Amino acid sequence: MKWCRFEHKKEIYFGIFEDPFITKVIGTPFGNYELSDERYKLEDVKLDIPVVPSTFYAVGVNYINHVKKMAKIRGIEGIAPKSPDVGYRANNALIPHNETIIIPKDASENIQYEGELVVVIGKVAKNLDKNNVWDHIFGYTIGNDVSERNWQSNDRTLWRAKNTDSFKPMGPYIETDIDLNSLRTIIRINNEIKDDLKLMI
Choose which CATH entry (3.40.50.2300, 3.40.50.720, 1.25.40.10, 2.30.30.370) describes domain 2-47.
Answer: 2.30.30.370
Domain ranges of the chain: 2-47, 57-197
pLDDT of amino acid 84: 78
According to the model, what pLDDT value does residue 201 have? 45
CA 93, distance to chain mean position in Å, is 11
Q: Which residues contact 56 (CB under 8 A, 6 or more apart)?
A: 88, 89, 90, 91, 94
Name the nearest CA neighbour of 145 among 195, 199, 76, 83.
195
The residue that leads in pLDDT, 66 or 162, is 162
Spell out the CATH class of 57-197: alpha beta
Q: What is the pLDDT of residue 88?
A: 92
Residue 115 Rama label (left phi>0; alpha psi -120 to 50; beta):
beta
Q: What is the pLDDT of residues 76-95, one digit of tens each?
A: 777 777 877 889 999 999 99
Amino acid at 33: Y
SS3 65: helix
Q: How far is Cα 180 from Cα 140, in angstroms, rounded to an integer? A: 9
State the pLDDT at residue 76: 79
What is the bridge-based pairing of β-strands 94-96 and 111-112? unpaired
pLDDT band at 32 (very low <50, low <70, confident <90, very high): very high
Name the β-bridge partners of 95: 169
What mean pLDDT value characterizes the chain?
91
Among 192, 20, 185, 162, smallest CA distance to 101 is for 162
Residue type, 137: I
| pLDDT tens figures, 143-164 | 999 999 999 999 999 999 999 9
Distance CA 134, CA 128 (A): 10
pLDDT (mean) for 10-19: 97
Q: What is the pTM of this model?
A: 0.88
Cβ atoms of residues 143 and 70 within 8 Å: no
Share of the chain above pLDDT 70, in %: 95
* b/e burial code for range 144-172 (CB count within 10 A of at least 16 → b): bbbbbeebeeeeeebebbbbbebbbbbbb
**C-alpha closest to that of 167 among 149, 182, 180:** 149
DSSP state of 91: G
Neighbours of 2 (CB within 10 A): 18
One-letter amino acid for residue 167 of the chain: F
pLDDT in tens, 95-116: 999 999 999 999 999 999 988 8
